[in-house]
Amino acid sequence: MAGETEFFNPDSLTENERLSFALQAAGVGTWDWDPIRERVRWDARCKALYGFSGDDLVPYEHVIDQVHPDDLPRLRDALTRAVNPDSGGQYDVRFRTVAANDGQLRWLHCQGKAYFNAEQVAYRVSGIVQDVTSQMLDREALQRSEDRLQTILKHAPIGLGLLSGPDLTFELVNEQLARMAGRPSSQLKNRPLLEALPELSEQGLKAIFDTVRQTGQRFVAPELPVMLERNGQLETAYFYASFEPVQEPDGSVSIVDFSQEITQQLQDRRRLEDSEARFRNIVELAPFAVAVYESEDLIISVANESMIRIWGKTPAVIGQKLATALPELEGQPFIPLLNNVFQTGQLYRTNEQPANLIVGGQLQTFWFNFVYQPLTDLDGRVYAILNMAVDVTERVMARQQIEQSESRYRNLAGELEVRVQERTQELRQINQELKRSNDNLQQFAYVASHDLQEPLRKIQSFSSLLTEHYQTGLSDEVKDLLQRMAAAGSRMSTLIHDLLTYSRVTTRKRVLETVSLNEVISTVLNTLQVIVDERNASIQIEPLPIINGDQSQLEQLFQNLLSNALKFTPINRAPSVQVTYGICEVSELPATISVASEAGQFHRISVADQGIGFDEKYLDRIFQVFQRLHSKSEFPGTGVGLAICQQVAENHGGALTATSKPGQGATFSLYLPV
């Protein structure tokens, strides 16, 4: 009807019209290629994407001309495959076009299907085209980002690897990880862990990785030892390693391996620790007083027993400032002298210097010969001062008495000439002894200032070399002497090691942490496994508690107790050891012990054996340094082990005691506060 408005009726549309509306709404163009006549028919959207504004039917070559030259081979290959009847006629390709009207670059995604006649010749290829420029640019940006990430990973200063699947296949390996593994990355990538690195099969790393995959918990090891075949030989390397679980989209767990080799740093640290240990051992064994003051605050870092006795103090002063530990030095010249040595780097030496010290609760005057030796680093800067001193109080007081006597009786020279001569002779002898002491002091300063020598090690090395190189030319007597020399050296080495251990336990600050005694015992048993197997020993252990303590000291304690239980069981009998646990009230503690802790309850861990036992009248004696109830020929040892155990127990606020009878074994009971 004229003048009436016609409303759009969706039901009046044909199927093709509905499809056309849908394609237009989605921004999709349609095209139809006649491969026989080489013509293309396309809709308005398709022409717009190519930058055309002309007819709907154009020659095929006009369309091809707008394709980016770099993508033209790929497009032609896709069309060739589509018109091949063996391909199924499917056509799917992405390419760039340069618009004919404005030169705009677009990414297009074409999809279509070829139709074949009875002779299997393609007579029509129809399809759609979409503008996918945004998606392709996003993909290129993502690829550039991934390329940058790969470059970063490749050149990262730490080893990085991605391991996937139950067999831990290397999906990603950077150059640093490959260098640390001693292989090119091509020998690692896409290969399972134990196939790429077969030497790891018996080292437990596969089990660690499996635990990370199964639990989803990261694993971190600050000093992980790994034996790797590098440069044609098997060597042990140490790594700071972190194994991080990564959840994959399919629900599986991969592992990212972050590793950094610290072998050289660890070796350097151990050499430094060994050097410091040798220095401290020499200091402790020195026949005169020795101390070391670090930094300009003059912190007491080392002081042997002789120096602590001179000061009239306890080992608790170690770690304190000198002025705090000995406040009576205020107004005396010592601290200003030390400050001057620290600033100038010049050695200071003096004899018969008086010092007022509080000893036994009283301020007393003593006289010393001493040296302040500056210790410098590689840059020549003073970082500490070595103080070596000899107490010459008796010598000075003797001389003063002689001088007083000489003054009083100078006019009686005739009568007292003999007595004066005797005193003069005493003084001469004292002077000679003092000179020897001074010579020893100066020699020690030289040794301490230059890296300490290792005579004991050389003795052992030389005796071994003599035995190896002249085995056939030595008499039985010489061989016996060399064997005795080596055995004596070994005993001395063991004694020094035990003394150093005792010194560390006595003076080192405890590192308190949560410690599982079950893990401590397990570590000790691993250490003693060889002797346990050799003696066919039976060791029964009850579940033990978790406590707050120093793990390294506790391991030393239980290793000494368990090794003693094995050692003091007659060789013709298989050792049987029981480790039991219980809790007792403070009122139930044995009367023979005293504890520093004020805890109301104590853990009681007992180590019982069926060995030779001992008479309990020697109970106090066995916990003293160098005290033994048996000769070295019967049972080897230094007599330091139980003293270490007692010190560890006291360090933890507890105590150690024992019960025993000769021939009926012994039970050592450790009490630690709850």
pLDDT tens for each residue of 308-361: 999 999 999 999 999 999 999 999 999 999 999 999 999 999 999 999 999 988
Mean pLDDT for the stretch of residues 218-226 = 94
Q: Hey, how many other C-beta atoms are within 10 angstroms of the C-beta on 611?
A: 23
Mean pLDDT for the stretch of residues 210-219 = 93
Q: Please tell me the number of Cα atoms within 13 Å of 19 on its side-chain side.
A: 7
Mean pLDDT for the stretch of residues 496-517 = 67
- Cβ atoms of residues 188 and 179 within 8 Å: no
**Helix (H/G/I), strand (E/B), else coil: 504:** helix
Q: pLDDT band at residue 443, thresholds of 50, 70 and 90? A: very low
pLDDT surpasses 50 at 13: no
pLDDT surpasses 50 at 81: yes
Mean pLDDT for the stretch of residues 594-605 = 90
pLDDT in tens, 530-556: 999 999 999 999 999 999 999 989 999
Task: Report d(CA 90, CA 108) in Å as an integer.
Answer: 17
Fold that domain 275-449 belongs to in CATH: Beta-Lactamase (3.30.450)
More confident residue, 347 or 146: 347
Phi, psi of 537, deg, nearest 5: -80, 150
CATH superfamily of 509-673: Histidine kinase-like ATPase, C-terminal domain (3.30.565.10)
More confident residue, 258 or 431: 258
- The residues that bridge with 128 in the sheet, in sequence order, are 30, 111
Residue 347: partners with Cβ closer than 8 Å, 6 or more residues away: 341, 371, 372, 373, 374
Q: pLDDT band at residue 598, thresholds of 50, 70 and 90? A: confident
pLDDT in tens, 639-650: 677 888 998 999
Enumerate helices (H) and strands (E) in the chain, giving the number of each: 21, 23
Task: Report d(CA 651, CA 511) in Å as an integer.
Answer: 11
The confidence score (pLDDT) of residue 16 equals 53
Fold that domain 155-261 belongs to in CATH: Beta-Lactamase (3.30.450)
Q: pLDDT band at residue 450, thresholds of 50, 70 and 90? A: very low
pLDDT surpasses 50 at 10: no
Q: pLDDT band at residue 7, thresholds of 50, 70 and 90? A: very low
Task: Report d(CA 257, CA 266) in Å as an integer.
Answer: 21
- Six-digit token string for 360: 């036994």
Tell me the angle at which helices 455-469 and 476-507 cross, rounded to the nearest 10 degrees.
150
Task: Report d(CA 298, CA 560) in Å as an integer.
Answer: 37
Q: Hey, how many other C-beta atoms are within 10 angstroms of the C-beta on 4?
A: 6
Task: Report d(CA 422, CA 416) in Å as an integer.
Answer: 10
More confident residue, 279 or 254: 254
3-state secondary structure 275-341: HHHHHHHHHHHCCCEEEEEECCCCEEEEECHHHHHHHCCCHHHCCCEHHHHCHHHCCCCHHHHHHHH
Q: pLDDT band at residue 12, thresholds of 50, 70 and 90? A: very low
Q: pLDDT band at residue 27, thresholds of 50, 70 and 90? A: confident
pLDDT surpasses 90 at 146: no
Fold that domain 12-137 belongs to in CATH: Beta-Lactamase (3.30.450)
pLDDT in tens, 260-295: 999 999 988 888 788 777 777 777 777 789 999 999
pLDDT surpasses 50 at 113: yes
Could you write out the DSSP letters of every residue in 204-263? THHHHHHHHHHH---EEEEEEEEEEEETTEEEEEEEEEEEEEEE-TTS-EEEEEEEEE-H
- The residues that bridge with 234 in the sheet, in sequence order, are 229
Average pLDDT, the chain: 84
> Tokens 């030595």 correspond to what residue?
474
pLDDT surpasses 60 at 453: no
Query: Averaging pLDDT over each range in 166-180, 462-476, 495-509, 615-629, which range is the top one?
Result: 166-180
The confidence score (pLDDT) of residue 282 equals 72
pLDDT surpasses 80 at 22: no
Are 275-449 and 509-673 in the same CATH fold? no
Q: pLDDT band at residue 421, thresholds of 50, 70 and 90? A: confident
More confident residue, 249 or 431: 249
Q: How far, CA to CA in Å, does 265 sit from each of 234, 240, 269, 378, 396?
A: 20, 11, 6, 18, 51
Of 3-12, 127-136, 474-483, 496-505, which gets the smallest average pLDDT? 3-12
- Cβ atoms of residues 440 and 287 within 8 Å: yes
Task: Report d(CA 126, CA 16) in Å as an integer.
Answer: 15
Q: Where are the domains of the chain?
A: 12-137, 155-261, 275-449, 455-504, 509-673
The confidence score (pLDDT) of residue 624 equals 75
The confidence score (pLDDT) of residue 468 equals 72
pLDDT in tens, 396-415: 999 888 888 887 777 776 66
For residue 41, the one-letter residue type is: R
Mean pLDDT for the stretch of residues 153-169 = 85
The confidence score (pLDDT) of residue 251 equals 85
